[in-house]
Structures are given as C-alpha cells and as structure tokens.
Structure 1
Amino acid sequence: MSKQLNKQILSPELPFETVLESVQPMITSIFLKCHIYKDFEYYRHIAAIAVWEAWKKADPAKGLFSSYVYTTVRGEIMKELTKEKRFEAHFAPMDDELLNVYRIHEEQGQQQGKSILLENIMAPLKIEERKLLELFYLEGYSYAEIASELQLSVAAVKKRRLRLVIKLRQLLASKQER
C-alpha cells in the first residue's frame, strides 16, 4: 500500500472523496499491472465508480476495506478490458473500417446506398468468400461460429478472412483509381 494509506487507515467511515484520493496510488498500480497505457481518464472513471461501489457496500466485519477496494477496482478494470478484447475480436479494428461502417449502417436500418455498396463488394467474390463476409460482418458470427457453420478450423477461417480483407482492399483501391 502507499504511504498515505499507512498514515491514515482506510475505512468506509471516511468521506468518499478522502477514500478516493487515498486510493489513487493503488489505482495507478492496478493500471500498471493490467498494462493500461492509454485512455487513462476512461479507466480512472471506471476505477472511481468501483471505489464508490466498494465504499457503499463495505462491511468491516468481512475483512480489510483496503483489500475490498483493491479487489473491486481490479475486477471492474479487468471486466472492461475483457469487454474491449471481445469487441476487438468481433469487430475488425481500423483495417476493415469500410466493412464496419457498412455494418453500422445496416444495423441502424439506413438503407440508402446499401444495395449498391453490397453489389460492388460482392460481385467479384467467390461464393465461399461471400458466405464468410456475410457471416462475419453482416450476421455478426464469431470465428468459432463461422468455423462450425463452414466446417473449417478457426485458424482456417481467420486465414480466409485475412485473404478476403486483402482482396477487398485491392478491389476497392482499383475502383477508386477509375
């Protein structure tokens, strides 16, 4: 624990602002252990909410308040990191921006230009490539679900998706040159 925590025993009887200020070094330590090197304000906000929840629910009879705060904050940070990881695994990051934009438009029910974009993207693709594109980007299937549907391994699905993205980039680049 930090020197501040040693000087003043952390307790749920203290005002929340005092508790939050006292645990800032602990929160920074959790960030370092979880390898958080960006979006500090966002994660500090999550940590502050976790401290608030721990402060409100603390029961001194069940153990040290500082341990409870640490566990609660670390748990919430880990939950958020897991959500981000799942999101990144499901939605392709920046390299597939055009396809993600299309999916967002489709989910929001915006039909303008949808069929033209779909035709331009799908026309030169093989049937298997179209199926993979539909399952991953339009239906939102995971790699495992696609592998099961197409009777392939997850590694094969990932390779095919990568090849498909490269092919789509080349097709889009050639259409932009025209």
Structure 2
Amino acid sequence: MDTEKNFEELAKRYSNMIYYHINKLNIRQNQDEYYQIGLIALWDASKTYDNSKGTFSTYLYSCLRGRLLTALNKQIKYQNDEELLEYEEMAITEDPMNEVIFEQMIYSYCDVLTPMQQKWLISYCFDHKTPLEIAASEQVTVASVKSWRRETIKKLRAYYELKT
C-alpha cells in the first residue's frame, strides 16, 4: 500500500513530463492510451533507477521518450499493415474482373522477387496456403518459408513506396 502511495505521488509529480512528451511527439489521437504507457514507463523507471548514474528526472525523461516512441512506431506499423490489408481486400471481390487485376498485380510484383519469394507469394495469394503447408510442399523448414515471407513483404513495401 505504501508503494501505491509513493507511485501516486510520482504520477502527480511527473504527469506534466508525460504530457510534454505526448505533445512533443505530436500524438493527437489516443492520448489517454499514451498517457497510460507513460505511467507504465514511470513505474518501470522508478523500479530500475540507479541514483549513482544521475538524477531521476533525467533517467525518466529518456525512459518516457523511448517507451512512447516504441509505442508510436508499433502503432504506425499496425496502421500500415491495416492499410495494406484493406488494399488487398478491395482488390479481391466477387467481380471476376477484379480477380484478373489482382492476378496481374501479383504477377507484376514477382519481377522484383527471388524464385523462393515468388513461390511464397503465389502459394499464399492464390492457393491460400499457410507457411506450414508451403514448407511441406517445398520440402523446407517453416522458418525458411517465414523468412521468404518476411523478405517478400520488405521488398514489396520498398517497391510500393518507389511507385508512389
């Protein structure tokens, strides 16, 4: 109970610093969520602080900024992945013409991919195979297939960014 009281005092004392970082990073949406992340960073900093290495506020400053940047980067990555999924879903509908366009789009991406990456993309998009199924059909490990997937997505993102 004493720890809770101490943390409440810390939270009151450093809430302005949390809001400072939220504003400094131009976080306009989900500010309450980011404030909670800041409180968690404050809690962690209070547990890991070593007073022989400097002041607590300096340590907290870097902890808060790092934790908020990490959360912000995760959110941006999640949004990018969601946008990519929405784009793919728009391309795949019941309209046969869209299926042809989707096939042409996938095959046009194959030009920038290695043969293994092409196998993953085609198996995933057209045959709807899981990494386990692709690994079994290609007689490789699941880790290899996941590596193909990871590298394919990197290349396609870079390719897409160049085109836009």
Bin of the TM-score, shorter chain as denominator length? 0.5 to 0.7
Q: Tell me by how many angstroms 1:46 deviates.
A: 0.4
Determine the structure 1 residue equivalent to 2:54: 63
Matched, 1:99 2:106: no
Cα gap change, 1:145/1:53 in structure 2, threshold over 3 Å: closer, same or farther?
Answer: same
Question: With structure 1 as the length reference, what TM-score do the two structures score?
Answer: 0.55
Q: Aligned residue pairs: how many?
A: 124
Task: Give ranges in structure 2 of 5+ residues lacking alignment.
Answer: 110-119, 126-148
Q: Kindly indicate which of the two structures has a greater share of residues assigned to helix.
A: 2
Q: Which runs of 4+ in 1 moved over 6 A?
A: none
Q: Tell me by how many angstroms 1:97 deviates.
A: 7.0
Q: Tell me by how many angstroms 1:65 deviates.
A: 0.4
Determine the structure 2 residue equivalent to 1:3: none
Task: Give ranges in structure 1 of 5+ residues lacking alignment.
Answer: 1-13, 103-116, 160-178
**Counterparts of 2:157 and 2:38, CA distance in 1:** 37
Q: Tell me by how many angstroms 1:118 deviates.
A: 6.1
Matched to 1:43, the amino acid is: Y
Question: With structure 2 as the length reference, what TM-score do the two structures score?
Answer: 0.60
The CA deviation string for residues 97-142 of structure 1, in whole angstroms up to 9 with x for no partner, is: 7828x9xxxxxxxxxxxxxx6664653326431445x95x956853
**Counterparts of 2:6 and 2:27, CA distance in 1:** 28
Matched, 1:42 2:42: no
Q: Tell me by how many angstroms 1:91 deviates.
A: 2.7
Q: Tell me by how many angstroms 1:15 deviates.
A: 1.2
Matched to 1:145, the amino acid is: K
**Matched residues, percent identical?**
22
| Contact 2:22/2:35, CA 8 A, preserved across alignment | no
**Counterparts of 2:33 and 2:43, CA distance in 1:** 16
Q: Tell me by how many angstroms 1:89 deviates.
A: 2.5
Q: What CA RMSD, in Å, does the superposition of the two structures yield over aligned residues?
A: 3.7
